[in-house]
Amino acid sequence: MDNIKNYVQQNKERFLNELIELLKIPSVSADSAYSQDVINTAHAVKASLEKAGCDKVELCETPGYPIVYGEKITDANLPTVLVYGHYDVQPPDPLDLWTSPPFEPVIKNTELHPEGAIFARGACDDKGQMYMHVKALEYMVQHNNLPCNVKFMIEGEEEVGSPSLAWFVERNHEKLKNDVILISDTGMISNQQPSITTGLRGLSYVEVEVTGPNRDLHSGLYGGAVANPINILAKMIAQLHDENNHITIPGFYDRVQELSREERGEMAKAPFSLDAYRQALDIEDVYGEAGYTTNERNSIRPTLDVNGIWGGYTGEGAKTVIASKAYAKISMRLVPDQDWNEITEMFTKYFESLAPKGVRVKVKPHHGGQAYVTPIDSTGYRAAAAAYEESFGIRPIPVRSGGSIPIVALFEKELKSKTIMMGFGLDSDAIHSPNEHFGIFNYLKGIETIPLFYKHFTEMSK
Least distance from a copy of itself to the Cβ atom of residue 97, Å: 12
- Whole-number minimum distance, CB 288 to a copy of itself, in Å? 5
| Residue 175 burial by Cβ neighbours in a 10 Å radius (0-12, 13-18, 19+) | middle
Closer residue to a copy of itself in complex, CB, 87/205: 205
Q: Quick one: 177 or 235, whose CB is closer to a copy of itself?
A: 235
Cβ of residue 230: shortest distance to a copy of itself, in angstroms? 4
Q: Write down the least CB distance from residue 161 to a copy of itself, Å.
A: 9
Altogether, the residues listed in the chain come to a count of 462
311 touches a copy of itself (CB under 8 A): yes
Segment 171 to 230, residues that bind a copy of itself, using CB under 8 A:
201, 203, 205, 212-215, 217-228, 230
Closer to a copy of itself by Cβ: residue 364 or 413:
364
Q: Are the beta carbons of 118 and 57 closer than 8 angstroms?
A: no
CA distance 389 to 382: 10
The nearest distance, CB 266 to a copy of itself, in angstroms, is: 19
**Is residue 105 classed exposed, middle or buried when 0-12, 13-18 and 19+ CB atoms within 10 A define those classes?**
buried
Among 3, 109, 307, 341, the residue binding a copy of itself under the rule CB under 8 A is 307
Shortest Cβ 333–a copy of itself spacing (Å): 5
Query: Any idea what DSSP says for residue 328?
Result: E
Residue 378's identity, in one-letter code, is S
> Applying CB under 8 A, does 96 fall inside the site for a copy of itself?
no
Binds a copy of itself (CB under 8 A): choice among 27, 29, 197, 298: 298
Q: Do residues 108 and 423 make contact, with C-beta atoms less than 8 angstroms apart?
A: no
Size of the site for a copy of itself (CB under 8 A): 81
Do residues 336 and 369 lie in contact, with contact meaning Cβ atoms separated by under 8 Å?
no
Residue 452 is a binding residue for a copy of itself (CB under 8 A): no
Check: CB of residue 426 under 8 Å from CB of residue 439: yes
- Which residue, 83 or 304, has its beta carbon nearer to a copy of itself? 304
Binds a copy of itself (CB under 8 A): choice among 115, 170, 254, 305: 305
Residue from 4, 124, 146, 328 binding a copy of itself (CB under 8 A): 328
User: DSSP of 81-143, one letter per residue?
Assistant: EEEEEE--B-----GGG-SS-TTS-EEE--SS-TT-EEESTTTTTTHHHHHHHHHHHHHHHHT
Q: Which of 59, 78, 231 is nearest to 155 (CA)?
A: 59
Q: Which stretch binds a copy of itself (CB under 8 A): 66-74, 264-272, 300-308, 407-415?
A: 300-308
Task: Output the CA–CA distances (angstroms, integers) from residue 74 to 57, 279, 310, in the order listed.
Answer: 15, 52, 58
What is the full DSSP assignment across 334-388?
A: E-TT--HHHHHHHHHHHHHHT--TT-EEEEEEEEEE--EE--TTSHHHHHHHHHH
In the stretch 390-429, what mask flags binding to a copy of itself with x, by CB under 8 A?
Answer: -----------xxxx----------------------x--
Of 56, 367, 395, 413, the one binding a copy of itself (CB under 8 A) is 367
Nearer to a copy of itself, 100 or 307 (CB): 307
Pick one of 27, 149, 331, 344: the residue that binds a copy of itself (CB under 8 A): 331
Among 171, 319, 349, 395, binds a copy of itself (CB under 8 A): 319
DSSP 400-447: E-SS--HHHHHHHHHH---EEE---B-GGG-TTSTT-EEEHHHHHHHH
Complex with a copy of itself: residue 299 or 417, whichever CB lies closer? 299
| Residues in 276-295 at the binding interface with a copy of itself, rule: CB under 8 A | 281-289, 294-295
| Residue 250 within binding range of a copy of itself, rule CB under 8 A | no
